[in-house]
Structure 1
């Protein structure tokens, strides 16, 4: 899987807007908006693993492709999620109220988060 690797956040658009539309408080949004700048992605068989670094807090999620499993959000909330591959360069994770699509383009990963009301676009650079 070409997603294997470590990525650093290069830019993001509309993070605060999406978080507000999900009902998060201004305090929570402020706390997390500038964190989570490194993500490590790996595939182990039919399982996708994403390891997010939020400063002193690290969250690791293991999601088997095509099976509902538990996902821990950056706020620590546990939600049900479903991960699936679409072709070789696109990974889609669907959870209650939110869909995350990650697509590779050269040495960049474009991540789009949407809840049907607001959309965040994050650009990650492979490091």
Structure 2
């Protein structure tokens, strides 16, 4: 199953609290929760390009499955991340954010992309639909 496509955010849970815990300002976390971000994913085998546009903020990350690489978090922090694929529809990323480990699981089921981020006992869930 290919992740390639454009997805628009439909719903999210605990976004504001999670982003504040990551170090995003109250103002930016509040603005971000009200914007329906667009995620564009290009998959070429094990190589991925992910562009997330939230209002005027554009975040681009490129990674290869199984190889540690540089990534940018929503708060602008640059980190090393390792992304693995489970089955053919689930991406699991582990990132050391200084305050502990952040785990991001992105799963594609049909036209629905579900992203669950966990850091300690905090969890944020975002659901997007292919457009």
Q: Same fold (TM over 0.5)?
A: yes
Change (3 A) 1:44 1:2: closer
User: CA-to-partner distance for each residue in 1:51-81, whole Å, 9 max, x for gaps?
Assistant: 1112223221101111111101222221111
- For 1:117, the equivalent position in structure 2 comes to 121
Which of 86, 105, 108 lines up with 1:104 in the alignment?
A: 108
Q: Deviations over 1:71-106 (max 9, x none)?
A: 012222211111111001101111113111111122
**How far did 1:120 drift?**
0.8
For the aligned residue pairs, the C-alpha RMSD in angstroms reads 1.7
C-alpha spacing 1:4/1:120, structure 2 compared with 1 (3 Å): same
- If the length of structure 1 is used for normalisation, what is the TM-score? 0.89
Distance 1:10 1:36, change over 3 A: closer
Q: Number of aligned pairs? A: 127
Tell me the equivalent position of 1:20.
Answer: 20
* Structure 1 gap ranges (5+): none
Corresponding residue of 1:93: 93
TM-score (norm 2): 0.86
* Alpha-carbon distance between aligned partners in 2 of 1:28 and 1:56, rounded to the nearest angstrom: 12
Distance in 1 between the 2:23 and 2:58 partners? Answer: 23
1:73 equivalent in structure 2: 73
